[in-house]
Amino acid sequence: MLLLSACWLLSATTRSWNSNLLELVFPKYWPKPVYDFSKNPLTKQGIELGRRLFYDPVLSRDSTVSCSSCHLSFTAFTHVDHPLSHGIEDRIGTRNSPVLTNLAWAKHFMWDGAVNHLDFQALAPIAHPAEMDNSIEKVVQKLREKASYKNWFFQAFGDSTVTGERLLKALAQFELTLVSANSKYDRMIFGQEKYTEQEQNGYLLFQKNCASCHVEPLFTNHDFEKNGLPLDTSLNDFGRMKITKLSTDSLKFKVPTLRNIEFSYPYMHDGRFKKLREVVNHYAKTTALDRKIELQPNEKVDLVAFLLTLTDREFLFNPDFSFPQD
Amino acid sequence: MHKIGLMRKVISLLFLLGVAFGTQAFVLCQQKDCRGVWDQGAMRDRHEEMVLHFQAMFQGKIIALEEPLRISPGDSLALHTLRFYLSNFVFLKNDTVVFEEKNSYHLLDLENENSLSLEFEEAPNMDFDHIQFKLGIDSLTHISGVMGGDLDPTKGMFWAWQSGYINVKLEGFSEKCPTRNHEFQFHLGGYLAPFQSVQTVSLSVPKEKNLLLQLDLSPFFEQVDWAKKNSIMSPSKESVAFSKILANSFSVHAK
């Protein structure tokens, strides 16, 4: 009798929990990710929980806005059409939402690098009055009242208690899986596909004029640069200087990746350009760069043709990244 | 066949042993209320702890939240919130480290009595004459991603809009503070140069198992120029300066 009850007790304390460890897949020649996976190992269940949270408006104060409201999978995980992204109650923010791509390699988050780690990134939109207008404390409280989340947190972490740490780690896990590495550019690198003459010419122009900041293969140097855009006095956004308080950082913004740029319009931190043509025209005109970019009209067209080879349809339409169906 | 049968026997024997041991541990645990024994599956004597008990002081007196503190007529103040991190506890003897607490992060909150007693299980068996700790959270922890326990961002001690722990939250009321309801808020933090606010505190300690760790807020309030600075909400020069004043205002006494 004693043994039996002890058996029951044991089984009650060791409810079965298995997580399936996964490894991030990316091309071998890419640099090593900067994200420390040892502190937040990717698991099937963790990623799935992160995906549910990403698509759940429960994160916002009145449960109307989710991460995907401003980061749509079909548009490279950004908010198209709107120069400045809008959040709860149609409130408009001060910046253009960035794409969520290849985040395991990102060192800074937000246009000014205000956030220093992927884990912490979600705290900013959750708390921002023009985005979700909520707080992590309230989100945790709301999730604790939902039986389904208790189950999903248990599956992901072996413990059904919802905490801020687990919520942020799960979101990070899902976001880390958003790897884009199968564009025509990637297939060209691997010799599986050939560029047209125009694309090849555009690629050479890119390497000569753009690649020092938009470093291949991730198409960013993960740093902050001045790109010659004049200050929009209706926003007075000085970028990186807000964080470092250094005048040398005035009007510096994070260099975004160019992957899937065809779908991530409008462009720049304040979304001031709707077309890629306008972006290229800006760079060909500005005198604020270290080295003046000279481009003939036909070269501009070639450069844009190259940029379109950075579109990764497998990434844009990956069912694993879209709204969880069940 | 034979081998499999033997294996089965061995497995069931191991299982029974495990159950028996587990049951015993469980029973003992209930008797002695020895937290953690069941989790670890091993018996351990409950040994004494060294306890550092925190007190906030003002002009030589222990103070509580909301208690009116009179400096002079027309100049009184009260604390609404005092929450801060103490981290990286190190014990030393003759300048040699004898013990370093692992995962050493403690959020002390004057509102939560339990948070004010820091227990160090290993310490009683050691000989030490000095303790060192940090007021706030170090830069390395700041860039290591989200953590749980006292560092969980739900504790209200993390800036959402610009990554960083709030090392110290000191809020209250001062008659001299020219703000709405005479309220002040000092949220001290910042981990990036030149506004690194975390401070190291080093104190010689008497050889006792129960110690009082006191923070005297008098120097802090003496330095505040209410008209000029009554609120800090982001990393800044002032955040560093006020953190230094607080770090220099700790002392340890035998209980």
pLDDT digits (tens, 9 = 90+) for A98-110: 899 999 999 999 9
Asked if pLDDT for residue A95 goes beyond 90, the answer is no
Domain end call among A180, A210, A241: A180
Q: Is A11 on the interface with B (CB under 8 A)?
A: no
If asked whether residues A170 and A58 sit together in one domain, one would say: yes
Asked if pLDDT for residue B228 goes beyond 50, the answer is yes
Helix (H) or strand (E) holding B134: strand B130-135
Domain end call among A180, A207, A240: A180
Contacts 24+ apart (CB under 8 A), B111-115: B111/B65, B111/B81, B111/B83
Q: What integer pLDDT is reported at residue A100 of this predicted model?
A: 94
Q: What integer pLDDT is reported at residue A16 of this predicted model?
A: 66
Asked if pLDDT for residue A185 goes beyond 90, the answer is yes
Within 13 A of B195's CA, how many CA atoms are on the CB side?
19
pLDDT tens-digit map of A188-237: 999 999 999 999 999 999 999 999 999 999 999 999 999 999 999 988 99
Q: What integer pLDDT is reported at residue A268 of this predicted model?
A: 93
Task: Decide if A295 is inside a domain.
Answer: yes
Proportion of chain A above pLDDT 70, given as a percent? 94
- Name the pLDDT band for A7 (thresholds 50, 70, 90): very low
Residues 38 through 67 of chain A touching chain B, CB cutoff 8 Å: 39-40
Contacts of A173 in chain B (CB under 8 A): none
Total structural domains in chain B?
A: 2
Mean pLDDT for B188-198 is 94
* Distant-in-sequence, close-in-space partners of A14: CB < 8 Å, separation ≥ 6: none
Residue B26: which domain range?
A: 2-40
If asked whether residues A260 and A283 sit together in one domain, one would say: yes
Q: What integer pLDDT is reported at residue B124 of this predicted model?
A: 66
Least confident interval from A16-30, A197-211, B147-161: A16-30
Asked if pLDDT for residue A76 goes beyond 50, the answer is yes
Q: What is the CA radius of gyration of chain B?
A: 24
Nearest to A117 among B145, B156, B195 (CB): B145
If asked whether residues A146 and A209 sit together in one domain, one would say: no
- Name the pLDDT band for B89 (thresholds 50, 70, 90): very high
Task: Decide if B207 is inside a domain.
Answer: yes
If asked whether residues B153 and B54 sit together in one domain, one would say: yes
Counting every residue, how long is chain A?
326
If asked whether residues A210 and A162 sit together in one domain, one would say: no
Q: What integer pLDDT is reported at residue B111 of this predicted model?
A: 96
| Distance separating alpha carbons of residues A6 and B24, to the nearest angstrom | 10
Q: Do B152 and A164 touch (CB under 8 A)?
A: yes
For residues B105 and B151, is the Cβ–Cβ distance under 8 A? Answer: yes
pLDDT tens-digit map of B204-222: 998 888 899 999 999 999 8
If asked whether residues B89 and B166 sit together in one domain, one would say: yes
If asked whether residues A250 and A165 sit together in one domain, one would say: no
Asked if pLDDT for residue B14 goes beyond 50, the answer is no
CA-wise closest residue to A270 among A282, A260, A285, A259: A282
Task: Decide if B63 is inside a domain.
Answer: yes
Q: What is the DSSP string of B79-111?
A: EEEEEEEEEEEEEEETTEEEEE-TT-EEEEETT
Three-class secondary structure of residue B193 per DSSP:
coil
Q: Do A114 and B143 touch (CB under 8 A)?
A: no
Separation in Å, CA of A115 to nearest CA in chain B: 5
If asked whether residues B135 and B224 sit together in one domain, one would say: yes
Asked if pLDDT for residue A14 goes beyond 50, the answer is no
Candidates A136, A161, A242, A246: best to mutate against B (most CBs of B within 10 A) is A136
pLDDT tens-digit map of B99-151: 999 999 999 999 999 999 999 887 767 788 999 999 999 999 999 999 999 99
Q: Do A123 and B152 touch (CB under 8 A)?
A: no
Least confident interval from A274-278, B113-117, B221-225: B221-225
Residue bearing tokens 């005035």: A250
ipTM of the complex model: 0.85
Q: Is A108 on the interface with B (CB under 8 A)?
A: no
Q: Do A115 and B162 touch (CB under 8 A)?
A: yes
Q: CA-nearest residue of chain A to B165?
A: A120
Q: What integer pLDDT is reported at residue A1 of this predicted model?
A: 35
Residue A271: which domain range?
A: 184-313
Mean pLDDT for A264-273 is 91
Task: Decide if B193 is inside a domain.
Answer: yes
Separation in Å, CA of B52 to nearest CA in chain A: 28
Q: Is A71 on the interface with B (CB under 8 A)?
A: no
CATH number at residue A57: 1.10.760.10
Q: Is A6 on the interface with B (CB under 8 A)?
A: yes
Mean pLDDT for B80-97 is 95
Read off the tokens for A311: 């579109």
Q: Do A117 and B143 touch (CB under 8 A)?
A: yes
Q: Is A95 on the interface with B (CB under 8 A)?
A: no
- Name the pLDDT band for B41 (thresholds 50, 70, 90): very low
Least confident interval from A197-211, B35-49, B127-141, B223-237: B35-49
Average pLDDT of the residues of chain B? 84
Mean pLDDT for A11-35 is 81
**pTM, 2 dp:** 0.85
Asked if pLDDT for residue A15 goes beyond 90, the answer is no
Residues 281 through 310 of chain A touching chain B, CB cutoff 8 Å: none
Residue A134 DSSP class: -
Contacts of B153 in chain A (CB under 8 A): 120, 123, 136, 164-165, 168
Contacts of B22 in chain A (CB under 8 A): 6, 9-10
Q: Do B162 and A243 touch (CB under 8 A)?
A: yes
Nearest to A3 among B19, B26, B153 (CB): B19
Burial letters A228-245, b for 16+ CB under 10 A, else e = ebeeeeeeebbbbbbbbe
For residues A176 and B145, is the Cβ–Cβ distance under 8 A? Answer: no
Contacts of B146 in chain A (CB under 8 A): 117, 119-120, 164-165, 168-169, 172
Mean pLDDT for B154-182 is 93
Q: Do B163 and A127 touch (CB under 8 A)?
A: no
Nearest to A140 among B154, B163, B195 (CB): B154
Mean pLDDT for B43-47 is 46
Q: Do A124 and B160 touch (CB under 8 A)?
A: yes
Task: Decide if A110 is inside a domain.
Answer: yes
If asked whether residues A224 and A292 sit together in one domain, one would say: yes
